[in-house]
Structure 1
Amino acid sequence: MATLSSKPGLRYSVSDWATNNKQISHTAENKRNVSHEIRQEGRALRNETTSKTNWDEYDSTRRLSDRINDVTRWKENLKACAQQLDAEMDALTLSKEETERALAATLLPLEVTAECLNLREGRRGMELVCDPVEAELKKEVEVIDGAQRILQQCIDQAFEQLCRLQEARQQLTIDLQDKIEALDVDMSCLSLTIRSPEISLKPNPTRVPPGSTTPQQWEQFSRYNITRAKEEMQASVQIRENNSITRAQVQNELEAQRMTVEFALRKRTHHEEQAYHEMQWQLKTTQEEIAELEKDICHLEEDMQAKTAPLKLVHTRLENRIKRPGMDLCRDEVQFGLVDEAKQLEATILALKQKLAHAQ
């Protein structure tokens, strides 16, 4: 009788086999269900992440566009402010140059006034008087000196304000240049897409670089630069107005003092001409009087000469009558008459001599 060989090992029953098959089928079904759920979740995640990525890309692009608009707006504001600042600097420079010309224009009047004072020092004698002309000329020197000091102060103020305007302009230029460079960067970023060949992964792109600012600080910085520039421009406008008013006032003061000096000179010249004509008349009258006096002296001398002969006659008669003899040597009326005549002639001659001596 033949014997059956049996394989050693554990043997399973049909029920175990069926149970195992069911378990495998159940496990496979569970795995498929899990896989299905994973696939569904993956698809949902893909859709969600795709939408999120697209939205984030769109939102970043929109924010870039808004940022570009903001930077462009501030750039235009800075540019307009810089142009206004340049115009104000040109206007202030022109005002400063006009003030410098006004200051230079005071040099010649000062030299003329000083020369007038020096020339008037050459007067001689009683003509060297401290008259109103000298007082007004000295006052004109003081007025011109004061005008020069005021104009120089205006020039110094304009120069200092120009320096402040240049500082504000430099700050605007730096800010404007930064805005232009930032616009170039943001415009370049805006032009990038997922298909751009120059995009790549970067190490730690989310880092915060040193010197970063907040949007509030960024806006406040540009606003401060514009505000400062406008304040400096307003101060410059005030300085230009003050310079214009000062130049007009100085011109009016110099013109008024010049007219005062000219009036004093004309008045003094008129008085001197009057005195000159008076002296001429006095000289002419005196010369005429001298001529008349010389004539009268000649007449006096002639009269004295004319009285000599009658005096000789009287003296001779008196001397001859002394020779009368005896009782005929009488002091008669003739004698008294001759004596009176002699005395009268001598008195007349003496009076003529005295008058002649006084006239000479």
Structure 2
Amino acid sequence: MATLSGKPGLRYSVSDWDTRNKQMSDTAEQWRHISHETRQDGRGLCIETTCKTSWDEINSSRRLSDRIWDISRWRETLESCAKEVDKEKDALTRGKEETERALAATMVSLEVAVECLTLREGRCGNELVNDPVEAQLKKEVKLIDGLQQMLQQRIDKAFEQLCLLQEARQQLTQDLQNKIEAQDIDLSCLSLNVTSPDISLKPNPLCIPIGSTTPQQWEQFSQNNVARAQEDIQASLQLREDMRVTRAQLQNELEAQRIATEFAIRKRTHQLEQACNEMNWQLKSTQDEILNMENDIRSLEDDLQAKMAPLKLVHTRLENRIKRPGVDLCRDEVQFGLVEEAKQLEATILALKQKLAQARYSLQALQLHQAHMGEDLSQKQDALFLEQRNLETRSRLNSAPFTDLSSGVIVPLTNSSGRHNLELT
């Protein structure tokens, strides 16, 4: 017979059992309801997030398209501005070269003026005159020196402006290059989609990059670059106009001074020619007078010599009549006549001697003055030759006028910074 061992287990009542069963059923139904709600919410969330994701992707693509359009608009603006800068650089470079040729051409005028002044230093004696020709030549040298300084200032300013244009061009180029790269990146981003093979998760994609700017700063940066370039272009336009006006002023003032100087030289040449002609006539007249004076002196000498025989005759008669004896030593009319004749002859001889001395003195003075006139004529002829040489020298200004800039030789002209040429890239 089997026997029971141990304490009896805990027994539940039927009601507890029913309650527990109902509780389990209610719990299962509750969790099923919760699960159903969760599933419905999950489906709604999936639909909502799918739409949201698709819409966000569309919005991002639209924003990328708008951004690409903004970049493209600024690219066109920057490219157009860069072309204007390049065009202005070329125009300013040509203007600078024309001004350099004008400056180089003034060297011919300066050399001619200095050569004329040097030639005129060869005048001698009384012909070394501080006349209007010298005043005009010195004025011409001073004028050319002032114009050269003005042209050099314009050239230096043009060089500095070219540097500013180059800096603006480089800034535009850098900005344009950055926008090209940014546009390529945004185009690449726009071409991506969820099926693209090269998409992946990235570490810390939401971080803000160092050096990030706001859209306002981005646009203001390009606006500043364009505004600076436009300001430099306007300054270059004004400078080119200033250089053109300066070159025109150079042409007008040098031409006016050239005409004034050559008029003074021609006037002085005419005066010298008249003086030489007058001096030649005076020399010829003096030479004729010297010949006449020499003839008269010979006549006076002959006449004086001719008076010696009558004087000897009178003196001999008077001497012989002193030998009359006694009362016959009478002071008769013969005696008075011979004395008067002797006095008259001596006065005549004295007058002839005085006139001969005066004639010889006059002849000597004429000969001396003739020598002086000959020396003066030689100096005037030399001065006339120098003035003619000046006119020949200045003919170089007519044969190769400085306004012919196209055929002018460009000489290396250093600017204020000591550089010869501007390297533009």
Higher mean displacement: 106-115 or 55-64: 106-115
How far off is 1:70 after superposition? 0.1
Q: Specify which structure has the bigger relative contact order, considering alpha-carbon pairs within 8 angstroms and separated by 6 or more residues.
A: 2
Work out which of the two has the higher radius of gyration on C-alpha atoms and give 1 or 2.
Answer: 1
Tell me the equivalent position of 1:216.
216
The whole-number CA distance in structure 2 between the counterparts of 1:319 and 1:280 is: 57
Matched, 1:37 2:37: yes
Tell me the equivalent position of 1:85.
85
Higher mean displacement: 23-32 or 128-137: 23-32
The whole-number CA distance in structure 2 between the counterparts of 1:123 and 1:77 is: 70
Tell me the equivalent position of 1:225.
225
How far off is 1:143 after superposition? 1.7
Matched, 1:255 2:255: yes
How far off is 1:225 after superposition? 0.6
The whole-number CA distance in structure 2 between the counterparts of 1:204 and 1:312 is: 155
Distance 1:315 1:36, change over 3 A: same
How far off is 1:169 after superposition? 1.1
Secondary structure of the residue that 1:258 maps to in structure 2? Answer: helix
Task: Name the amino acid aligned to 2:212.
Answer: S
How far off is 1:224 after superposition? 0.5
Residues 126-175 of structure 1: CA deviation (Å, up to 9, x unaligned): 22222222222222222222222222211111111111111111111110
The whole-number CA distance in structure 1 between the counterparts of 2:350 and 2:27 is: 187
The whole-number CA distance in structure 1 between the counterparts of 2:334 and 2:201 is: 171
The whole-number CA distance in structure 1 between the counterparts of 2:268 and 2:223 is: 66
Tell me the equivalent position of 2:168.
168
Tell me the equivalent position of 1:52.
52
Task: Name the amino acid aligned to 1:59.
Answer: N
The whole-number CA distance in structure 1 between the counterparts of 2:289 and 2:57 is: 126
The whole-number CA distance in structure 2 between the counterparts of 1:9 and 1:307 is: 209
Task: Name the amino acid aligned to 1:60.
Answer: S
Tell me the equivalent position of 1:301.
301
The whole-number CA distance in structure 2 between the counterparts of 1:253 and 1:88 is: 29
The whole-number CA distance in structure 2 between the counterparts of 1:296 and 1:119 is: 46
Aligned pairs for 1:4-23 (under 5 A) are 10=11
The whole-number CA distance in structure 1 between the counterparts of 2:230 and 2:195 is: 46
Matched, 1:357 2:353: no
The whole-number CA distance in structure 1 between the counterparts of 2:121 and 2:140 is: 17
Tell me the equivalent position of 1:343.
343
TM-score, normalising length: structure 2: 0.76
CA RMSD of aligned residues (A): 2.6
The whole-number CA distance in structure 2 between the counterparts of 1:357 and 1:246 is: 73
Higher mean displacement: 82-91 or 317-326: 317-326
Task: Name the amino acid aligned to 1:152.
Answer: Q
How far off is 1:19 after superposition? 7.1
Aligned pairs for 1:94-113 (under 5 A) are 94-113=94-113
The whole-number CA distance in structure 1 between the counterparts of 2:18 and 2:138 is: 139
Tell me the equivalent position of 2:411.
none
Residues 98-122 of structure 1: CA deviation (Å, up to 9, x unaligned): 2222222222322222222222222
The whole-number CA distance in structure 1 between the counterparts of 2:195 and 2:159 is: 57
Higher mean displacement: 239-248 or 34-43: 34-43
How far off is 1:88 after superposition? 1.1
Higher mean displacement: 264-273 or 76-85: 264-273
The whole-number CA distance in structure 1 between the counterparts of 2:266 and 2:94 is: 39
Tell me the equivalent position of 1:4.
none
Matched, 1:68 2:81: no
The whole-number CA distance in structure 1 between the counterparts of 2:205 and 2:327 is: 177
Question: Identity rate of aligned residues, in percent?
Answer: 70
The whole-number CA distance in structure 2 between the counterparts of 1:9 and 1:347 is: 207
Task: Name the amino acid aligned to 1:298.
Answer: R
Higher mean displacement: 34-43 or 314-323: 314-323
The whole-number CA distance in structure 1 between the counterparts of 2:118 and 2:62 is: 83
Task: Name the amino acid aligned to 2:245.
Answer: I
How far off is 1:331 after superposition? 3.5
How far off is 1:312 after superposition? 4.0
How far off is 1:221 after superposition? 0.5
